[in-house]
C-alpha cells in the first residue's frame, strides 16, 4: 500500500537521500535503495572541510592555552596575596597587637590601633641626667647641661626589644597653672623621647612626615590632659591621612632655656666638675656640630630631627618630605629652627613648615662672636633673680651661679620667679653664639634666610580664647590679658610703634569696653594676627618657595552658666582641626574642620596652598568655607 501510494505520487524532484521511514520502519516492504549519485550527493565543499578542521584545531589550541594560563594566574595571585599580607595591615592586624620596627639603637615595639600603629617613648638622645650615680651606667658623665646628643655608643642604647610602655611616657620637667594662681612642677629630666604614629610599617610606599611641636609656653603650661590632647595626633588620623606623625619631647623652662649668663660664667667650671670625656665632646662635634648652646631645648629638637632623618623610613616615613608643625611657643621654636645653624652632616632636616599662634617672643639682635660680649643688664638681672629665688641665696651668701646649676632640676624649676610665668614676663629664648644666632623676625626682615622652603604662618580671630573653658573663665582670662597688655603698652609709649604700625597708645582697649568677643578680637589682632601677617609679607620677599598667611574666622560655640553662648574662633581651632580633635557641634563645624584639614594635608604633600596666593598678595580666610582676601580691615595700618 505504501508503495502504491508512492507510485501514485507526483514525480517531482526529491532531495537527495532517503527517508527515515524507508530505512527503519520494520512494517514496510523491502525496497531498493538504489539511487543516482546526484540524488545521494551531500554537496560537501572543500572549504567546509577546511573550516571544520580549522575550528577543531583552534579549539584544541584554546584548551592548551587555558591549561597553561591557569597555573600562571594562580602564581600571580599567590605573589599578590603575599605582597598584600606583607604591606597592608588591614587583612590581618587587630587592635592591641604588638609589632616591631627597627631603629639605629635597636628594635622597638609598637601597638596596632584603629588601623594604624603607635610607638611611644622612643629615646632619640642621651638622657640629660648624671650617670655617675647610676648602677651600670655607660659612663660617668653628667649630661644635665649638655646639648641634645644622639646616642653615639652601643652602651647608650637598649638591649633586646624596647617594649611598648604600660603607661604614658613622662613629659619633660615643666610648670602648669594650678588652683588660686599657683603653679606646680611635674615631669622628669629623663625625657628625651618621641612618639611615632604611622599608617603602616613598611618600605614600599613611604608616607610624608609631620613633626608636631606644640606647647603653650617655653616653660610648659598645659593646664590639663584635655588641652594637651587637642595638639596630639593619633594612629587613626595617621591611617586616615596617610601621614607619619612624630611628637618629640624636649627640655623646657630653666632646664631648656637657662639665661646664657649663668652657663657662660661657669662653663669652664662645669667642664672640670662633671668630667666631660673626650668621647662625649667628640660626639657633639662630629654628630651635631653644635659645640655649646644655652638653648638646650632647641638642641634637643635638632637631635630629634637627626633621629627622624636616620630612622623614620623604618616606620614607613619619607625622610625627604618632612613638615614642621608648630603651635604656640612651639611656633617660635620652629621659626628658630628655620634660621638656626644646622648640624654639618644634616643640612636639610625638614622640607617645609606650618606655624600658627606664635607670639614672636624672640629678640631681634644678632649675636656675633662670644656671647660674653653681648651681656646686658636684663640678662644679668634674669640670672640673678633666678639665683636669689633659689635655696642658694642664704643670708650670708653672695651671687654664685655654680650653686644654682648644681641644684636638682626640680629645685631649679621651683626657683623660677612668678613674674617669669606671666605673658611677656620673661624672654626665654635668647640668641647664643652657636645654634640660635638670630630671630626669624630679624632674618626674614633683612631678606637673607639661610634656607629656602615653603612656609605658612597663621592665626585665629580670637587667638587668646580658651574655647575648652566656660564663658566665666574666658572673661577672667580676658580681663587679665587686657590688664597685662595695658601695662605693657603704657611702658612702651615712648614713641615706639608696634608690629601693626599703630602706636601703643592707639591699641589700648577702651576702658568702657565690656564685650568679651570684641576685646578678644582686639587682643588677637594686636598681638598675633597683624604682627604675623606683617612678618609673612616681609618673609615672602625673601623666600622663593613662597610664604602664605591664613586667618581662622570660623567660630565655635562656648556655653555660659547663665544660658547664653559665646561664638569664638579660639587659639586651638586650627591645630585641633588639623589633628582631628576639633569639636563638631553642627554641620558647619564639620565642613570647616574637614576643609581646613584638606588644605593642610595637601600642603604636606605639595608645599603650597590652593590658588597659590602668597602673603604679599593677600591672606586665606577660613570660615565655614575658605576665601581669599587681599586685605584685612583690622590690619589696615600694616606697613607694606
Q: How confident is the model at residue 372 (pLDDT cuts 50, 70, 90)?
A: very low
Handedness of CA 275, 281, 282, 283 (dihedral sign): positive
pLDDT per residue as tens digits for the range 111-144: 999 999 999 999 999 988 876 544 444 556 677 8
The kind and range of the H/E element at 81 are helix 46-87
620-629 pLDDT, tens digit per residue, is 999 999 999 9
- C-alpha span between 213 and 149 (Å, rounded): 19
Q: Strand 547-552 relative to strand 619-622: parallel, antiparallel, unpaired? A: parallel
Task: Give the pLDDT band (50/70/90) at residue 368.
Answer: very low
* pLDDT of residue 359 exceeding 50: yes
Task: Say what the pLDDT of residue 511 is.
Answer: 52
Res. 381: pLDDT tops 60: yes
**Residue 287 has what pLDDT?**
41
Please report which confidence band the pLDDT of residue 362 belongs to, taking 50, 70 and 90 as the band edges: very low
What average pLDDT does the chain have?
78
**What whole-number distance in Å separates Cα of residue 290 and Cα of residue 346?**
12
Whole-number Å distance between alpha carbons of 243 and 578: 12
Q: Could you report the per-residue pLDDT of 536-593, keeping only the tens digit for each? A: 998 898 888 999 999 999 998 877 777 778 888 989 999 999 999 998 888 999 999 9
Place of cell 654628630: 287
Q: What is the pLDDT of residues 58-113, one digit of tens each?
A: 888 888 888 888 888 888 888 877 776 665 444 446 677 889 999 999 999 999 99
Residues across the chain: 640
Ordered alpha helix ranges (H), 149-293? 225-229, 235-241, 253-256, 260-273, 278-283
- The pLDDT of residue 140 is 60
Task: Give residue 639's pLDDT.
Answer: 44
pLDDT score of 324: 98
DSSP-derived secondary structure letter, 284? I
Q: In terms of pLDDT, which residue wins out, 385 or 50?
A: 385
| Confidence at residue 195, expressed as pLDDT on a 0 to 100 scale | 98
Cβ neighbours of 32 (radius 10 Å): 5
Both ends of the chain: CA-CA distance in Å? 123
pLDDT the model gives residue 575: 96
Q: Where are the domains of the chain?
A: 2-40, 47-87, 98-359, 454-635
Strand order in the sheet with 116-123: 98-103, 106-113, 116-123, 193-198, 244-248, 207-215, 317-328, 352-356, 455-460, 547-552, 619-622, 626-629
If you average pLDDT over each of 162-176, 233-247, 252-266, which comes out highest? 233-247
Please give the distance of CA 82 from its chain centroid, rounded to a whole number: 32
Confidence of residue 269 (pLDDT cuts 50, 70, 90): very low
For 469, counting Cβ atoms within 10 Å of its Cβ (0-12 exposed, 13-18 middle, 19+ buried), the class is middle
Sequence-distant (6+) residues with CB within 8 A of 245 are: 195, 196, 197, 198, 209, 210, 211, 212, 233, 237, 238
The proportion of the chain whose per-residue pLDDT surpasses 90, expressed as a percent, equals: 37
The arithmetic mean of pLDDT across residues 424-433, rounded, is: 79
Dist CA 437 CA 367 (whole Å): 5
Question: Among 256-265, 391-400, 431-440, 626-635, which range has the highest average pLDDT?
Answer: 626-635
Q: Are 195 and 122 in contact, with CB atoms under 8 Å apart?
A: yes
Dist. CA 493–CA 506, nearest whole Å: 10
Find out whether 316 and 200 touch, Cβ atoms under 8 Å: yes
User: Does residue 258 contact residue 296 with C-beta atoms inside 8 Å?
Assistant: yes
Q: Indicate the Cα dihedral angle 242, 346, 258, 211, nearest 10°.
A: 0
pLDDT score, position 136? 47
| Cα gap 291→397, rounded to integer Å | 33
294 vs 128 pLDDT, higher one? 128
Three cell numbers, residue 487: 601695662
Does 283 or 35 have the greater pLDDT score?
35
Q: State the Cα–Cα distance between residues 288 and 229, nearest whole angstrom.
A: 32
Residue 346 pLDDT? 66
- Please give the CATH number for the structural domain made up of 98-359: 3.40.50.1820
| Cell numbers that stand for 126 in this block | 642621651
No. of H helices and E strands in the chain? Answer: 20, 16
Q: Which residues of 72-92 are buried (b: 16+ CB within 10 A; e: fewer)?
A: eeeeeeeeeeeeeeeeebeee
Distances (CA, A) of 311 to 40, 104, 169, 259: 89, 7, 20, 33
Amino acid at each position: 500500500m505504501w508503495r502504491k501510494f508512492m507510485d501514485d505520487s507526483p514525480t517531482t524532484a526529491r532531495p537527495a537521500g532517503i527517508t527515515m521511514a524507508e530505512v527503519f520502519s520494520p512494517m514496510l516492504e523491502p525496497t531498493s535503495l538504489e539511487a543516482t549519485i546526484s540524488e545521494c550527493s551531500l554537496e560537501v565543499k572543500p572549504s567546509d572541510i577546511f573550516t571544520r578542521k580549522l575550528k577543531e584545531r583552534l579549539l584544541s589550541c584554546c584548551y592548551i592555552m587555558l591549561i597553561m594560563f591557569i597555573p600562571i594566574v594562580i602564581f600571580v595571585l599567590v605573589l599578590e596575596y603575599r605582597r598584600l599580607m606583607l604591606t597592608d595591615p588591614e587583612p590581618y592586624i587587630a587592635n592591641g597587637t604588638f609589632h616591631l620596627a627597627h631603629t639605629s639603637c635597636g628594635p622597638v615595639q609598637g601597638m596596632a590601633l584603629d588601623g594604624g600603629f603607635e610607638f611611644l617613648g622612643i629615646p632619640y638622645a642621651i638622657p640629660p641626667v648624671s650617670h655617675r650615680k647610676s648602677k651600670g651606667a655607660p659612663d660617668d658623665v653628667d649630661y644635665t647641661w649638655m646639648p641634645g646628643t644622639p646616642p653615639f655608643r652601643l652602651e647608650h642604647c637598649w638591649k633586646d626589644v624596647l617594649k611598648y610602655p604600660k603607661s604614658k611616657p613622662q613629659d619633660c620637667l615643666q610648670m602648669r597653672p594650678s588652683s588660686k594662681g599657683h603653679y606646680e612642677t611635674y615631669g622628669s629630666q629623663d625625657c628625651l623621647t618621641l612618639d611615632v604614629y604611622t599608617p603602616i610599617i613598611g618600605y614600599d610606599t613611604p608616607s610624608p612626615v609631620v613633626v608636631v611641636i606644640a606647647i603653650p609656653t617655653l616653660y610648659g603650661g598645659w593646664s590639663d590632659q584635655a588641652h594637651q590632647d587637642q595638639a596630639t595626633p593619633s594612629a587613626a588620623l595617621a591611617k586616615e591621612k596617610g601621614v607619619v606623625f612624630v611628637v618629640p619631647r624636649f627640655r623646657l623652662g630653666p632646664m631648656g632655656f637657662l639665661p646664657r649668663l649663668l652657663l657662660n660664667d661657669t662653663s669652664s667650671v662645669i667642664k672640670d666638675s662633671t668630667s666631660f670625656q673626650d668621647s662625649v665632646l667628640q660626639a657633639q662635634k662630629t654628630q651635631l656640630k653644635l659645640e655649646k648652646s644655652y638653648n638646650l631645648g632647641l638642641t634637643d629638637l635638632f637631635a630629634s630631627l637627626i633621629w627622624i632623618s636616620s630612622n623614620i623610613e623604618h616606620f614607613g616615613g619619607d625622610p625627604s618630605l618632612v613638615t614642621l608643625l608648630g603651635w604656640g611657643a612651639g611656633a617660635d621654636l620652629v621659626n628658630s629652627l628655620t634660621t638656626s645653624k644646622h648640624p654639618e652632616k644634616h643640612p636639610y632636616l625638614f622640607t617645609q613648615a606650618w606655624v600658627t599662634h606664635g607670639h614672636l617672643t624672640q629678640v631681634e639682635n644678632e649675636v656675633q662672636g662670644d656671647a660674653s660680649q653681648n651681656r646686658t643688664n636684663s640678662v644679668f638681672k634674669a640670672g640673678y633673680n633666678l639665683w636669689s629665688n633659689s635655696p642658694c641665696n642664704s643670708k650670708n651668701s653672695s651671687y654664685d651661679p655654680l650653686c644654682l646649676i648644681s641644684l636638682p632640676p626640680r629645685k631649679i624649676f621651683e626657683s623660677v620667679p612668678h613674674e617669669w610665668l606671666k605673658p611677656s614676663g620673661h624672654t626665654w629664648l635668647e640668641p647664643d653664639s652657636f645654634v640660635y644666632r638670630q630671630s626669624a623676625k630679624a632674618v626674614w626682615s633683612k631678606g637673607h634666610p639661610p634656607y629656602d622652603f615653603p612656609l605658612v604662618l597663621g592665626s585665629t580671630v580670637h587667638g587668646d580664647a580658651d574655647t575648652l573653658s566656660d564663658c566665666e573663665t574666658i572673661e577672667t582670662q580676658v580681663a587679665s590679658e587686657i590688664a597685662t597688655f595695658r601695662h605693657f603698652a603704657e611702658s612702651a609709649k615712648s614713641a615706639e610703634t608696634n608690629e601693626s604700625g599703630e602706636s601703643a597708645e592707639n591699641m589700648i582697649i577702651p576702658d568702657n569696653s565690656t564685650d568679651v568677643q570684641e576685646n578678644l578680637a582686639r587682643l588677637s589682632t594686636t598681638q598675633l594676627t597683624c604682627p604675623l601677617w606683617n612678618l609673612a609679607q616681609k618673609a615672602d620677599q625673601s623666600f622663593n618657595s613662597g610664604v602664605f598667611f591664613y586667618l581662622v574666622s570660623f567660630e565655635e560655640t562656648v556655653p555660659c552658666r547663665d544660658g547664653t553662648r559665646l561664638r569664638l574662633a579660639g587659639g586651638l581651632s586650627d591645630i585641633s582641626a588639623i589633628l582631628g580633635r576639633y569639636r563638631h557641634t553642627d554641620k558647619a563645624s564639620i565642613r570647616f574642620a574637614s576643609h581646613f584639614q584638606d588644605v593642610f594635608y595637601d600642603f604636606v604633600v605639595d608645599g603650597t596652598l590652593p590658588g597659590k596666593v602668597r602673603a604679599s598678595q593677600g591672606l586665606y580666610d577660613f570660615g565655614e568655607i575658605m576665601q581669599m582676601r587681599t586685605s584685612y580691615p583690622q590690619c589696615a595700618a600694616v606697613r607694606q
